Amino acid sequence: MDFTAVLGLILSDGKTLAVPMAIDYFAIIVGVVAGALVACERKLDIVGTVVAGLLTGFGGGIVRDLLMHDEGIYFTQHPELVLICTGICAFVFYFRGFFAGTGPFGSSGKGFFLLDTLSVALFALAGASKAFACGEGIILSVMYGAVTAVGGGALRDVFTGETPAIFKQSNFYAIAGLGGAVVYVLLAAFGCPVVIAGTLCVATVLALRYGSVRFGWKTRAEVDYARQFRSDASGNDKRANGGD
């Protein structure tokens, strides 16, 4: 593949490469469970739990599909999945004892963290794969993958009166989703089999998320390099004026 072909691939349409529908379904169900667990943690009622779960599961895809306005809205094309997810939210709400505390799938346990991270990974894969399959090219496909990965959680937080996690100092969350989307799209662009590309996408998200927790990597809430420039400028002025 020569430079012209690569540039054309980046700026224009990509190859058609689709991910099986089962991946989409699984990603949404995982996201719905994670969203319902967060709703229970925040003491929402049954309506709030269902809405929070559906927002987490479908929100990122809705934003992606609205931006890809000519490709249809996934949410409205699968009403049976909406009913299934509503039932899942109700189950989580009424049997929250199975998910309480630090148990395997408690909201403070390792299982919940895995579930939340897996939802980000699968959404990054689902979003990037749909965009790439629709010929959006490399740059837009990566953007749509990242939006799908974190959009649902962001909408859930906004609707429940919280600052979205992607906007706060934390271990890698949005960065993990973006990294997974980049890996998938680049591999797909160069003809990597979809199973390998998808697996490495998910693995990248998991590695970045768990690695950031293990090694304490965090995004910074406040950075001001202007202070360094002002300090250097002040020092230079003193030297120029013969000061200490």
Of 75, 45, 52, the residue nearest 63 (C-alpha): 75
More confident residue, 112 or 161: 161
Residue 170 above 80 pLDDT?
no
Q: 3-state class of 212 per DSSP?
A: helix
pLDDT in tens, 198-231: 899 999 999 999 998 888 877 776 776 777 766 6
Higher pLDDT, 41 or 165: 41
| Mean per-residue pLDDT, 25-50 | 89
Task: State the Cα–Cα distance between residues 1 and 9, nearest whole angstrom.
Answer: 10
Structure tokens of 118? 């897996």
Cα–Cα separations (whole angstroms), residue 129 to 66, 98, 182, 196: 16, 34, 11, 13
